[in-house]
Structure 1
Amino acid sequence: MHGLGSDGATPGKSRFDDMYVQPDPRAYFTRLAPLGYEIPHHAQPVFRQLAAERAAYSDGRAGRLVVLDLCCSYGINAALLNHEVTLAELYERYTSDTARRMSPEELAAWDREFYGERRRPDALRVYGLDVAAPAVRYAREAGLLDAGFTDDLERVPPGPELRAALPEVGLITLTGGGSYITERTFAALLDGARRPVWVSAFVLRTVAYEPVVRKLATYGLRTTVDASRTYPQRRFTDEGEWQYAIEAVRALGGDPPGLEEAGRFHSVLYDSRPGPELIVH
């Protein structure tokens, strides 16, 4: 959910930066629970299916496929992709009295055992990218990420470690970070790619994703989106954010009645794969 660059701040949309400087995800879940943040739940079956399809797609390159999760924060998408666990269970776990009494180190050890016991047999390697170093560090310590990076690709090119990792990436996933990153981040990643890279992004209807779609097209990726299917993300924090969302959706030609007007952000799913053209329906 976190962004990859502070320059991407969106006026009118609440920021949650203070959650990501914590040494573990307890504040993340405690803060988001009252808002009903749920987009990782909707992404879980989508990313599992897409990862299976991408893993089965022969690209003629040796080595195991790697998924790169953008704006990965504490590795929530990796947890849901590779383990038999639900988002509801994670909310319950990290807001429990048991978790509340632990030190960050104890929580990480507790998590390593928890996720180790629930590891799926078809688990894929997952790398994470987020400027929030404490969040990425915890995801690594908990065993959710095989590698983690904090490069701010909105500002600078990938560093040597990320550059060395990018040739392994075959699938890029995104939930919630579309408000904070632009085509600059995607271009920096795809410039370093060697495999055919697929991109699956849940993007708020308040965000203009077309510049990213056009940039991906220059790398031979065709993007499809079913704008009629939306995925609720979370409740608005206040009336100001509610009004911002309604106005932003209308400005992009969207229709907020029954969706944003009902009190929640909604996302649409963009799927980008090698192909000749853009399809929007």
Structure 2
Amino acid sequence: MVSGGRGVETEAMTSFDEIYDRPDPRGFFRALGAWDYQTPHHAQEVFRRLVATRADGAADVAVLDMCCSYGINAALLNHDVTLAELYDRYGSAPVVAMDTAELIEADREWYAARRRADAVPVIGLDVAANAIAYALAVGLLDAGFAENLEVAPPSPELLAAARPAGLITVTGGASFLSPRSFRPFLTDAPAPVWVAAFVLRTGSYRAIADGLTAHGLVTEKFGPHTFPQRRFTSDREQRYAVEAVIATAEDPEGRETAGWFHTALHLSRPEDHTTTFPLDTLLPDEPPART
């Protein structure tokens, strides 16, 4: 479970498994930057808006970032940085020359100097223990857990840390999750929880949405726009994506046919919240261009 789509949905997709559990994120940015991976960039403004709405009148609201990888969503949510700046930083000659211990020390100072005044606690969940350890070491996560809820129940420590979470986020890995991974954080939650997930258009979110319905959450899909995820690595990937999107009754024209995987944003909330906070007032009119 990681940000960026860990693993492969099918053999037709290129596997990036080797980059997700290294001691630091340089390999992640190098490999995915080559294909212009940008979902966290699109999520940055969306998550900030959602957090601001959930935090109104609830000072202890926190974010549970599922499939959090190296804490990239936390970096973009809580710090005055962009995804483009992260690509530049981790590809720069001085940073490339550091060993992991040096990089952790440098990153701790770099992120601390860019911490936003409106930063909120972020709890990270991922199966990649090295990635979690890095994100904790540099201060991106307030708590982090290397657990796979698809195969085992959450630890008491994870449940306790995630209890204040008013927003659950996912920017990669939704196709590897089921309602089982979400259920522990929604059962007996002390306050309403929102779930925001960027989901590849090559698959369906229906099973998860149905599972969230059992906890009183209504799932809305942000219809006007989709969000580029990354460029295809091969013609084979593109053919797969176009066929898969058509199979879900969506139109790939101008998106997958133009050479990119695209995601759709799904937001799940209690029904009364969907009228109090209409979806179109929470999200940008246009997906932000990558800078």
TM-score (normalised: structure 2):
0.89
In the alignment, the residues of structure 1 paired with residue 37 and residue 9 of structure 2 have an alpha-carbon distance, to the nearest angstrom, of 18
Identity among equivalent positions (%) equals 51
* Aligned-pair CA distance for 1:9: 4.5
SS in 1 for 2:163: helix
Residue 268 of structure 2 corresponds to residue 272 of structure 1? yes
Query: Counterpart of 1:236?
Result: 232
In the alignment, the residues of structure 1 paired with residue 56 and residue 38 of structure 2 have an alpha-carbon distance, to the nearest angstrom, of 28
In the alignment, the residues of structure 2 paired with residue 151 and residue 193 of structure 1 have an alpha-carbon distance, to the nearest angstrom, of 20
Alignment of 1:140-179 (within 5 A): 140-179=136-175
Alpha carbons 1:167, 1:192 under 8 Å: kept: no
Alpha carbons 2:4, 2:39 under 8 Å: kept: no
* Aligned-pair CA distance for 1:257: 1.3
Alpha carbons 2:21, 2:129 under 8 Å: kept: yes
Structure 1 residues 166 and 105: CA distance shift in structure 2, 3 A: same
Query: Counterpart of 2:53?
Result: 53
* Aligned-pair CA distance for 1:15: 2.2
CA RMSD after TM alignment: 2.3
Query: Counterpart of 1:186?
Result: 182
Query: Counterpart of 2:34?
Result: 34
Aligned-partner residue type, residue 38 of structure 1: Q
In the alignment, the residues of structure 2 paired with residue 277 and residue 104 of structure 1 have an alpha-carbon distance, to the nearest angstrom, of 44
In the alignment, the residues of structure 1 paired with residue 2 and residue 96 of structure 2 have an alpha-carbon distance, to the nearest angstrom, of 23
Structure 1 residues 37 and 154: CA distance shift in structure 2, 3 A: same
Aligned-partner residue type, residue 258 of structure 1: G
Query: Counterpart of 2:242?
Result: 246
Query: Counterpart of 2:124?
Result: 128
Superimposed CA distance per residue, residues 34-71 of structure 1 (whole angstroms, 9 cap, x where no aligned partner): 1000111111010001000000055xxxx711101111
* Aligned-pair CA distance for 1:166: 2.7
Structure 1 residues 109 and 51: CA distance shift in structure 2, 3 A: same
Alpha carbons 1:166, 1:192 under 8 Å: kept: no
Query: Counterpart of 1:81?
Result: 77
Superimposed CA distance per residue, residues 241-264 of structure 1 (whole angstroms, 9 cap, x where no aligned partner): 211111111111011111101110
Q: 1:196 aligns with which of 175, 192, 196?
A: 192
Aligned-partner residue type, residue 87 of structure 2: Y
Alpha carbons 1:233, 1:264 under 8 Å: kept: yes
In the alignment, the residues of structure 2 paired with residue 125 and residue 111 of structure 1 have an alpha-carbon distance, to the nearest angstrom, of 18
In the alignment, the residues of structure 1 paired with residue 162 and residue 36 of structure 2 have an alpha-carbon distance, to the nearest angstrom, of 34
| Structure 1 residue runs of 4 or more that deviate by more than 3 Å after TM superposition | 3-6, 276-281
Aligned length, in residue pairs: 276
Residue 137 of structure 2 corresponds to residue 138 of structure 1? no
Alpha carbons 1:4, 1:130 under 8 Å: kept: no
Aligned-partner residue type, residue 39 of structure 1: T
SS in 2 for 1:244: helix
* Aligned-pair CA distance for 1:3: 7.1
In the alignment, the residues of structure 2 paired with residue 255 and residue 45 of structure 1 have an alpha-carbon distance, to the nearest angstrom, of 26
Report which stretch shifted further, 256-265 or 174-183. 174-183
In the alignment, the residues of structure 1 paired with residue 57 and residue 213 of structure 2 have an alpha-carbon distance, to the nearest angstrom, of 20
SS in 2 for 1:21: coil
Q: 1:68 aligns with which of 46, 64, 68?
A: 64
Query: Counterpart of 1:114?
Result: 110
Query: Counterpart of 1:15?
Result: 15
In the alignment, the residues of structure 2 paired with residue 166 and residue 36 of structure 1 have an alpha-carbon distance, to the nearest angstrom, of 32
Structure 1 residues 5 and 116: CA distance shift in structure 2, 3 A: closer
* Aligned-pair CA distance for 1:77: 0.3
Alpha carbons 1:172, 1:199 under 8 Å: kept: yes
Report which stretch shifted further, 269-278 or 189-198. 269-278
* Aligned-pair CA distance for 1:192: 5.9
* Aligned-pair CA distance for 1:14: 2.3
In the alignment, the residues of structure 2 paired with residue 159 and residue 210 of structure 1 have an alpha-carbon distance, to the nearest angstrom, of 27
Aligned-partner residue type, residue 119 of structure 1: R
